[in-house]
Chain A
């Protein structure tokens, strides 16, 4: 795992999402001042969740309405039954960092 700087924390407001390109594309979410990170691709079909709809701590895919908890990646509604991978995210000295898997792995 390696830490990747995402953006200044102040650039994201509650309800904002941001995509991070990595071996597995990652979605960063801000919910009530907290940051979360999950895999950015819906587990149902190839669709990017940061283009979706974030309502509180639930992200919903725009293609077919699959819902996931951004806190733990759990699939909350059909057509998704597989969870999203989650990643550690933290704010350090005003910047958002996410732990991304090593490229070689």
Chain B
């Protein structure tokens, strides 16, 4: 795209990590046109990972801002917070009109959707008893309730649920966790790591219930009760659910952009509507063979925002690095990199002090890594992962050999 074809106005919908990184990248890449970043939360973009951890334990916690307040002014980014985009129209090819909740409108020739997702709700929660964690306000509302001795029921043992459960245990709450899947911690693709965490949660006094779903939730004197599908009931003072998110695809649908799980984009993060882009939790990247890639993690959100900025300006798109996410629970750090599957050949490296690293090999090549308290080994392993290395299995399992010295077949 030549300079004269650069957009005159770019609107980013979603003032969050993906949106803020995209705005930053547009300016870093030399885009000097009009740029607005619109978000429905009152707060400027912040990082969400602390919401299920420090934001729930520390009354003096403040958001982990993506940028200082002055950044937006200094970079001539029109940050519009506290206003949702309620509708979008295509006025002409590459000409969009956005209507905001305060009755104002914005027009732009490129729109980037970084609308993320909203927590999946429990249909059985008719009275709105259940807490969900997605925004700073959600954590701020839950924090003062996590008092010592309180009975906390966490529904779902994915990363969010497990982190909330761990934080509540740390605050002295009586914690129960219920998982609908037959095994706990479905976000941890290695059973050996998941089992280590199950044991730890049990040791710390959590009640773990697997393979059961919640079919009804109602208020009762002094708290709430969750009815399970086997007829049993769990009584609690506080119920929190972390059962996944639904991508916020409403705006894309209004302009007939194709939607898979998320808004479908190509390798250039453009949707099926010219000039409309999507990045982060809200998008699904179309695969070569029809299977889309949909990642709902912190690292991918910011990288995709940056990639979309390149694409919007017609610049070469940097390659996405290996997928990576982490979770801090009960003083342990769990990390998942690449695309580990339960069907992979798994090589275990055990170190001192509960360090555990599980290497997933597919056709001899490193395809994924799941680790517990092995951050340094993980950093090295990710370099092998990006090279799609064929490491020596014996050396991989040997904790005496630093990961960057493990022999690899070319």
Contacts and interface: CB of A to CB of B under 8 A. Distances in A.
Contact of B302 (A45, A53, A79): A79
A1 interface: no
A65 interface: yes
Interface in B355-410: 375-376, 379-380, 382-383, 404
B21 interface: yes
Main secondary structure of the interface of A (DSSP, over half): loop
Interface in A61-78: 62-65, 77-78
Contact of B380 (A53, A64, A65, A78): A53
Contacts, number: 31
B324 interface: yes
Interface string A34-78: 000000000001000000110100001011110000000000011
A63 B324 CA distance: 12
Most chain A CB neighbours (cut-off 10 Å) among B306, B324, B404: B404
Contacts of A63: 375
B379 A60 contact: yes
Q: How large is the interface on A (under 10, 10 to 19, 20 to 34, 35 or more residues)?
A: 10 to 19
A53 B306 contact: no
A52 to B, nearest CB: 7
A55 B302 contact: no
B380 A81 contact: no
Interface in B273-302: 298-299, 302
Interface of A: 45, 52-53, 55, 60, 62-65, 77-79, 81
23 contacts: A45-B64, A53-B375, A53-B376, A53-B379, A53-B380, A55-B379, A55-B380, A55-B404, A60-B379, A62-B376, A63-B375, A64-B298, A64-B299, A64-B326, A65-B299, A65-B324, A65-B379, A65-B382, A77-B321, A78-B299, A78-B303, A78-B306, A79-B302
Given A53-B376, A55-B404, A64-B298, 7 more contacts: A45-B64, A52-B379, A55-B383, A63-B375, A64-B299, A78-B21, A78-B299
